[in-house]
Structure 1
Amino acid sequence: MSLVETRPRPLLGLILTGQFMAILDVSIVNVAAPTIQADLAASGAELQLIVAGYTIAYAMLLITGARLGGRSGYRRWFLAGLAVFTVASLLCGIAPGAATLIAFRLLQGAGAALMVPQVLSLIQVGVPQTGRARALGIYAAVISLAAVGGQILGGLLVTLDLFGTSWRPIFLVNVPIGLALLWLGARNLPADEPQPGRGLDLPGLLTLSLATSLVVVPLVLERGWVFMIAGALVFAGFVVIQRRAAHPLIPGRLLRVPGLVAAGVAIFGVMAVYGGFLFSNALHLQNDLHDSPLRAGLTFVPMAGAFALVSLNWKRIPARLHRRLIVSASVVVALGLVALAGVFSGGGHGLPYLLIALAVIGAGMAGAFSPLMTVALARVAPADAPDASGLLAMMLQLGQVVGVAAFGTLFLSGGSISITMVCLAATAVASAVAARWI
């Protein structure tokens, strides 16, 4: 019996609220970043690790989180990840310095990596084929609302400076929500149906984690290309290990699903644009244009509204046109970014053109991302749903990590916001090219 048939709206509401919190903590830190940097005297590299450290751990452990869910139960690992995430949020909120905040952000990302893959797996396995597109549309809308909602909520909490706590409530707000979800989840999530035959592939996990660290961390810290080349070589070793593993993290049959690899590459590109865009623009609005955190957050409302609107309505387009929609929408994102580069080149906000460009970018991102998830998972067998969900979620989060690291480094090292927008536009075009192969 399907998930929707057994516990429809309350259950989807519960797991999507967990998803909402996990995405919220990517974006809520963006708008608070200048305040955190000033309060903790953090360097530019430390600030990027505070923002990206969460998604580094998140990206590295997502496939493992998906495998654990498929092996011993989605309910168990959703609740375990939620518990770790909630405790880590409390620790982030009371962190005394930049180094400890980075450490607790890594722990928070690990909790999210255990929790989030269960959401996509439950949708893929539990929702009937006829309702899956709508469920994934809601999933994409939740991601959008959380992303921009984080900007607004972060700006509001920093501006209110509750009890003189400055930026700390952006993490502490997760604690009561997490406790409520733990109680509701323990009572309402369906019993697990574990599959003990699915192993963990520890060598693959360690190799993939090392490869990711060697590529991303030096990129954030600006420590040269040697480590990144080493990371590429370690990743090649990971591919060899996967071919020989009894229970590979990424089964070979999954990579042979038509269009799945191309979809993963396109998702990586779209999310790299998304992560780099939010990080660089949050800093530009506050540091260069001297906006308050609240005003900076509210600036992204047109982008969120357009994203949500398209996410909930793209499925009205005939299925035969979905692949063309992905390519066209990625091009729209590129055009919006080029337009935004022109808006910022004048040195000010460029209103109302700034808001129009943001709406175009939001609509384009939704038109690319939402169909990508549906098209990528449509041909995946239910038995492979956990691994496919983990793979796509890893590409999604790894794209954000690389986006923050690469484009954040470009912006912080002296590149203008306009140059950064043009580079983001080139990445969006690359995503459109990848999407042609889906």
Structure 2
Amino acid sequence: MSQPLPEPENCTASQRPSALALAILLLGGFMTVFDLFVVNVAIPSMQADLGASFAEIGFVIAGYELAFGVLLIAGGRLGDRHGRRRLFSLGMLGFAVTSFLCGIAPDTTSLIVARLLQGAAGAILFPQVYALLRVMYDEAGRMRAFGLLGMTLGLAAIAGQVLGGLIVESDLFGLGWRIIFLVNLPIGIGAALLARSVPESRAADAVRVDWPGIGLATAGLLLLLLPLLEGPNVGWAAWTWASMAASAALLCAFLVWERRESRNGGHPAIDLGLFRNGGFSAGSLVVLLIYSTSTSLFLCFALLVQSGLGLTPFEAGLLFAPASVGFVAASLLAPRLVARLGTIGIAGGALTYAAGIGWLILSATGLSGKDGAFSLLPALILFGFGQGLSMTPLLNLVIGFVEDRHAGMAAGLISTMQQVGGAFGVSIVGIFFVRILDSDMAQGVPQVVRYADAFANAMIYNLVAVLAAAALIVWITRRSGA
């Protein structure tokens, strides 16, 4: 449900945009978000079909988010240099082809690789949507276009769960979960062809892509993510610690390289000088914490209600849909709330989010069968509402700490933090979820209780993370006097 902010841009398009051009760009945004959420309801089916472990399924989700996150800034810069419509079309074709590879994956390893590639294609596609909407319209048209985009992304999150659950359950052509990926092939190819209706635009002052920096960051984060996901399965073997040590070395090399690039007048992937601002640094940590709780909860919840309680994918999607409705409603309310209460209103939203998670934990501990699943609804609605109140205004708060000339870089960095946070949230929560699930199995605990116990205990991390984020927002508020 996250939305990266568009970079400020002075370039204007040479043609008047058509309704078809707007529709194609909105479709690009819809597809990337829909695919993120539809996978959640399909995870138990994938796990059963491929015989995948939690770590492997976690990598299917986290790998997509990690590749998407670390390449977002590069995708935006490539569009600025080589043409945003051209990169949009290439990104759409890449997304279609990699979705096809996901759909035909014969095993979990192939699916993970395909998802990494799909995330990379999404990182090329998604920034062009924001940049093109910004340069295609004047101020009034831009507000309308971004309003439609926000509504489209919200609907994509809901459709990903409800429609996605229906598609998986319908088992179209006997393809099961694979159809959620295969359907992207004709849609993506069609959208790429129709993208000719979108006016081309470039930035006159576009900068080059810092490929060495991006390579170091990607390798470092992958070497950290892999042992966190696989560690519990292999008893934290020696290679997991070696991988984490190599990760630390590569991430340190990344920081050294970025500092060197900045000193030499280059164009680093991340301007480390932004972190000298205490408000921006603390706000970045808040974004990382808040977004680390979202994807991990979706994953564990899907396993709880489908593998644990026995709900069908469609029933699971229907159960979670009200949380998305609550998110959309709160997103519309959040700007007015912050305008009235100031930054402290965001802290109130985070506390509401934490209350929803806490209520879910308490509700899950009392589950004993499928009939109790819909007792989770009130907690889910509160969870979604609190998530919208906190996430929606948070990005504007953090970007507001930097000067206007650095807003584009800051927006790209925060968007990356969202995705990387989601990836690592899955790995951290997975450590607790798998350990408790295996422990209860060894003791002969019934399946429903095992999954309920694993979910409730794993979500304690989410609760602590959101409470820590709320405390940081209060600190930011007092420090800035907002």
TM above 0.5, yes or no, is yes
Runs of 5+ consecutive residues of structure 1 not aligned to the other structure = none
Could you say which residue in structure 2 is the equivalent of 1:408?
A: 430
The residue that corresponds to 2:354 in the other structure is: 334
| Identity, % of aligned positions | 36
Task: Return the offset for 1:137.
Answer: 6.0
Q: For residues 139 and 238 of structure 1, do their structure 2 counterparts lie closer, same or farther at Cα, with a shift above 3 Å needed?
A: farther
* Structure 1 pair 23–73 and aligned structure 2 pair: CA distance change class (3 A): same
Please name the residue that 2:257 is paired with. Answer: 241
Aligned counterpart in structure 2 of residue 273 of structure 1, from 293, 304, 310: 293
The equivalent of 1:174 in structure 2 is: 184
Deviations 1:119-169 (A, max 9, x none): 344456667778877766655554443233212222111211112111111
Q: Distance in 2 between matches of 1:391 and 1:269?
A: 15
> Given that residues 219 and 405 in structure 1 are in contact (C-alpha distance below 8 angstroms), is that contact kept between their aligned partners in structure 2?
yes
- Single out whichever of 205-214 and 119-128 deviates more from structure 2: 119-128
Mark the CA change 1:177 to 1:317 in structure 2 (over 3 Å): closer, same or farther: same
Change (3 A) 1:261 1:178: farther
Q: Distance in 1 between matches of 2:60 and 2:312?
A: 20
Residue 84 of structure 1 pairs with residue 106 of structure 2? no
Q: Which residue of 1 aligns with 2:468?
A: 430
Alpha-carbon contact 1:141-1:312 (below 8 Å) kept: no
CA contact (8 A) 1:66 1:386 kept: no
Is 282-291 or 255-264 further displaced after alignment?
255-264
**Residue in structure 2 matched with residue 306 of structure 1 by the alignment:** 326
Match of 1:212 among 221, 234, 239: 221
Q: For residues 38-437 of structure 1, what are the structure 2 equivalents within 5 Å?
A: 38-122=48-132, 139-188=149-198, 190-195=199-204, 198-222=207-231, 223=236, 224-245=240-261, 246-252=266-272, 254-255=274-275, 259-317=279-337, 319=339, 321-348=341-368, 350=372, 353-378=375-400, 384=406, 386-414=408-436, 416-436=454-474, 437=476
Deviations 1:291-343 (A, max 9, x none): 11111111111101111112223223353635222211111111111111110
Residues 380-389 or 326-335, more deviating: 380-389
| C-alpha distance 166-32 of structure 1, shift in aligned 2 (>3 A) | same
- Which letter does structure 1 place at the counterpart of 2:286? A
CA distance in 1, matches of 2:434, 2:12: 48
Say what the alpha-carbon RMSD is for the aligned residues. Answer: 2.8
- Conserved 8 A contact 2:326-2:384: yes
Q: State TM-score, norm by structure 1.
A: 0.90
Tell me how far apart the structure 2 counterparts of residues 130 and 374 of structure 1 sit (CA, whole Å). 20
> Retained in 2: the 8 A contact 1:67–1:387?
no
Task: Tell whether the 8 Å contact from 2:216 to 2:251 is kept in structure 1 after alignment.
Answer: yes
Q: Could you say if the C-alpha distance between residues 127 and 390 of structure 1 is closer, same or farther in structure 2, counting changes exceeding 3 Å? A: farther
- CA gap 1:331/1:123 in 2 versus in 1, 3 angstroms: farther
| Cα distance per residue 1:17-70 (max 9 Å; x no partner) | 212211222221121112112212223322222222222221221222122223
- Equivalents in 1 of 2:135, 2:390: separation in Å? 23
Distance in 2, matches of 1:201 and 1:355, equals 46
2:415 is aligned with what amino acid? A
Structure 1 residue 386 displacement after superposition: 4.5
- Amino acid of the structure 1 residue aligned with 2:35: D
CA contact (8 A) 1:125 1:385 kept: no
Indicate the SS of the match to 1:168: helix
For residues 208 and 318 of structure 1, do their structure 2 counterparts lie closer, same or farther at Cα, with a shift above 3 Å needed?
closer
Amino acid at match of 1:181: A
CA distance in 2, matches of 1:182, 1:380: 36
**8 A contact 1:410–1:420 mirrored in 2:** yes
Structure 1 residues 100, 62: CA separation in 2 closer, same or farther (over 3 Å shift)?
A: same
Distance 1:235 1:74, change over 3 A: same
Cα contact 1:136–1:373 (8 A) shared by 2: no
- Distance in 2 (alpha carbons) for counterparts of 1:409 and 1:146: 29
1:12 and 1:313 map into 2 onto residues whose CA distance is 26
2:423, 2:364 → 1: CA distance? 25
